[in-house]
C-alpha cells in the first residue's frame, strides 16, 4: 500500500477473489436437520466399535494377585521387611479354573509408586546408558551427569554405573512359576526375550563395546541397592547383561501412572487350568511408602490387555448419539412447523 503510493501507481486495489474476500466458501450451519444423519452414523459406528471392544475384552482373562505381605495371613508376610530378611523367598499358590490361552503375559505390578516423578525420572546419565565409556569414570564433577545425584558416586567417590535413582531403584524381585501336576511341581517356562521395546534394546541403550563386558566397569561401582553389578544381571544369558538387560530396559521405561504393571515374562503356550505355585524371591521393599506389589497373568488381544472401560465408553456415547439424533429430529420437526405458525 505504502509502496504503491510512493511509486505513484494507481492505487486501485487488486480485484481478486482473495483480496476482496470473495473466495468461494462453504458455510456449514450446524443445525438439527444436518446433524441428524451425522449423529445416527456416529452412533451406529460407535456402538459397533463398542460391541467389538467389549466382546474382545470379555474374552480376555486376567489374574492379579497381591503378594506384598501386609496381612499376617499373607504368604509373604514373613518377607515383607527385606532389610531384615535378606534373600527371603515365599511362594504364592493359586488355581486357574480355565485355560489361559497363550500368549499369557506375566506382569509384576507396583502401586503408589511414582516412577513419573520428575527428579526421579531425569536421574540418569544418558551417555552412560548408550555405552560411552567416557562417562563411566569420574571427570571433574561433570561426569557422570549431575542429575544422578544422590546416586552418582559412592562413599569412596567412585562413580556408580549405571548412576541415578531410576537405575538404582530397579525392581529386583524374581519369580518362578510352577504348575502343580499331581502334586509334582513342574516349572512353567518363562520367556524373557523381547519384553522390552525393540528400539530400546537395539538402538537407544548400548553396552560399551568392550569384551568381556565386565572390563568396561573397572573403577566403577554397582548401584547401591543392586545385589549384582550390571554385567551380571542375567547369569544365564551373557547377551542379556549390562544396559541391554531386558528387565533393566523394562524398568528404565518409566511408567506413566503411580499404579502400574511391568512386563516380567511371557508364557507363550498359555496356562492350562490347574493349580500353580509362584515362587518369589522377595527383595524389593514397598511397605515404607505404602506400596503394594502384585503379580498379574493376562492374555492379550489386538486391543492389548483386558479393559472394559473403552468398550463401555463407546457403547454409551454411541447410544447417546442415537438418543441425540431423536431429540434433534423432534426439534427439527418443531422448528419446521413453528415458523409458519409465527
Q: Is 332 exposed, middle or buried (0-12, 13-18, 19+ CB in 10 A)?
A: middle
| Rounded CA separation 336/99 (Å) | 59
Q: Contact 43/51 with Cβ under 8 angstroms?
A: no
| Rounded CA separation 295/107 (Å) | 6
Q: Left (φ > 0), alpha (ψ -120 to 50) or beta: where does 310 sit?
A: alpha
> Minimum Å distance from CB 212 to other proteins?
26
User: Residues 6 or more apart from 107 whose CB is under 8 A from it?
Assistant: 261, 262, 263, 264, 294, 295, 296, 297, 298
> Minimum Å distance from CB 144 to other proteins?
15
Closer residue to other proteins (CB): 238 or 301? 301
Closer residue to other proteins (CB): 185 or 253? 253
Q: Is 99 exposed, middle or buried (0-12, 13-18, 19+ CB in 10 A)?
A: middle
Closer residue to other proteins (CB): 178 or 260? 260
Closer residue to other proteins (CB): 84 or 211? 84
Closer residue to other proteins (CB): 177 or 200? 200
> Minimum Å distance from CB 270 to other proteins?
19
Query: Which CA distances in Å does 143 have to 126, 149, 156, 175, 216?
Result: 11, 11, 15, 36, 16
Closer residue to other proteins (CB): 32 or 233? 32
> Minimum Å distance from CB 177 to other proteins?
18
> Minimum Å distance from CB 247 to other proteins?
13
> Minimum Å distance from CB 184 to other proteins?
33
Amino acid at each position: 500500500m505504502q509502496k504503491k503510493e510512493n511509486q505513484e501507481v494507481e492505487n486501485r486495489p487488486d480485484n481478486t477473489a482473495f483480496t476482496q474476500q470473495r473466495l468461494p466458501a462453504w458455510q456449514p450451519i450446524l443445525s438439527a436437520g444436518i446433524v441428524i444423519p451425522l449423529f445416527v452414523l456416529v452412533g451406529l459406528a460407535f456402538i459397533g466399535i463398542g460391541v467389538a471392544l467389549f466382546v474382545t475384552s470379555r474374552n480376555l482373562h486376567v489374574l492379579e494377585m497381591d503378594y506384598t505381605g501386609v496381612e499376617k495371613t499373607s504368604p509373604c508376610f514373613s518377607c515383607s521387611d527385606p532389610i531384615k530378611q535378606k534373600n527371603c523367598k515365599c511362594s504364592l499358590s493359586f488355581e486357574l479354573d480355565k485355560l489361559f490361552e497363550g500368549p499369557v503375559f506375566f506382569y509384576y505390578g507396583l502401586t503408589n509408586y511414582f516412577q513419573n516423578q520428575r527428579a526421579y525420572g531425569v536421574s540418569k546419565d544418558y551417555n552412560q546408558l548408550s555405552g560411552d565409556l567416557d562417562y563411566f569414570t569420574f571427570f571433574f564433577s561433570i561426569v557422570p551427569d549431575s542429575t544422578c545425584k544422590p546416586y552418582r558416586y559412592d562413599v569412596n567417590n567412585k562413580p556408580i554405573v549405571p548412576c541415578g535413582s531410576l537405575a538404582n531403584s530397579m525392581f529386583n524381585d524374581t519369580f518362578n512359576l510352577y504348575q502343580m501336576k499331581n502334586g509334582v511341581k513342574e516349572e512353567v517356562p518363562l520367556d524373557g526375550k523381547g519384553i522390552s521395546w525393540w528400539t530400546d534394546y537395539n538402538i537407544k541403550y548400548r553396552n560399551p563395546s568392550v569384551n568381556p563386558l565386565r572390563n568396561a566397569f573397572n573403577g566403577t561401582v554397582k548401584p547401591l541397592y543392586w545385589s549384582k553389578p550390571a554385567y551380571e544381571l542375567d547369569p544365564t544369558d551373557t547377551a542379556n547383561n549390562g544396559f541391554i538387560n531386558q528387565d533393566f530396559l523394562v524398568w528404565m521405561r518409566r511408567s506413566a501412572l503411580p499404579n502400574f504393571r511391568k512386563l516380567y515374562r511371557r508364557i507363550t503356550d498359555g496356562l492350562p487350568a490347574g493349580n500353580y505355585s509362584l515362587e518369589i524371591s522377595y527383595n524389593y521393599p514397598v511397605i515404607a511408602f505404602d506400596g503394594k506389589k502384585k503379580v498379574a497373568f493376562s492374555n492379550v488381544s489386538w486391543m492389548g490387555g483386558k479393559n472394559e472401560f473403552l468398550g463401555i465408553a463407546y457403547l454409551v456415547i454411541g447410544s447417546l448419539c442415537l438418543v441425540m439424533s431423536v431429540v434433534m429430529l423432534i426439534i427439527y420437526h418443531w422448528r419446521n412447523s413453528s415458523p409458519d405458525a409465527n
